[in-house]
Amino acid sequence: MVKAVFPGSFDPPTYGHLNIIERARLIFSEIHVVVAVNREKRYTFSANERVELMRDMVKQWDNVTVHAWDSLIVAYAKKISAHVLIRGVRNVTDFSYEFDLAMMNRGLNPEIETVFLSPDPQYFVLRSSAIKELAELGGDVSSMVPASVADLLHQKLVKDFISTKNAKM
Ligand code: ADP
């Protein structure tokens, strides 16, 4: 029975994240998806929105739960007695960044192991920031995120458009 934590911004969650969770849930007995709440960072989606969108995406799996956390991820792992962090790796650039992060987390708690998983190739190019840009330009994101995420993304973009327009008047 090995518990694992999958941390991230998930701003917004994508089918790439889901593919990693789908793989991880077959390896580990329990997955805690942890939505990072960092006061220094600006997110497009609130913590509550990110948690609810992700919850909706994983609701079919009974060994996956979603939580918000505003402190060190190793502290979350300790709180639930988990020793494994999962991170998704799409390419060498990701690996280089993720490796440094893993070593930092190991420095903070030597009992924590980071496990890197790669998604199916069709998810290699999915990135939350790129999806937001694409949606802003009116691109079709339906193959990248579920309808719930696409709808909320659209609502936010319309709101931004109206507030920018009002600011200019
Ligand atoms: P962070 O802001 O911590 O990088 P993200 O929400 O962007 O959080 O990602 C969380 C984890 O999911 C990271 O390990 C990231 O590399 C991974 N990830 C993001 N998109 C994909 C994808 N398309 N395929 C596989 N892993 C991904």
Q: What is the mean pLDDT of each run of 10 residues along the chain (169 residues)?
A: 97 98 98 96 96 98 98 98 98 97 97 97 95 91 96 83 61
> How far apart are the C-alpha atoms of 44 and 137, rounded to whole Å?
16
Domain ranges for the chain, please list them: 3-124
Q: Which of 17, 123, 132 to mutate to test the pocket of ligand 1 (most atoms within 8 A of CB)?
A: 17
Give the position, in ligand 1's atom list, of the atom nearest the Cα of 125.
Answer: 23
- The class of domain 3-124 in CATH terms is alpha beta
Let me know if 79 is a catalytic residue.
no
Residue 110 pLDDT = 97
Q: Which residue lies with its CA nearest to atom 15 of ligand 1?
A: 88
Residue 169 pLDDT = 60
Residue 162 pLDDT = 60
Distance 116 CA to ligand 1 centre (A): 11
Q: What is the DSSP string of 85-149?
A: EEEE--SHHHHHHHHHHHHHHHHH-TT-EEEEE---GGGTT--HHHHHHHHHTT---TTTS-HHH
- Pairing of the two strands 30-36 and 64-69: parallel
Residue 156 pLDDT = 86
pTM: 0.93
Residue 168 pLDDT = 61
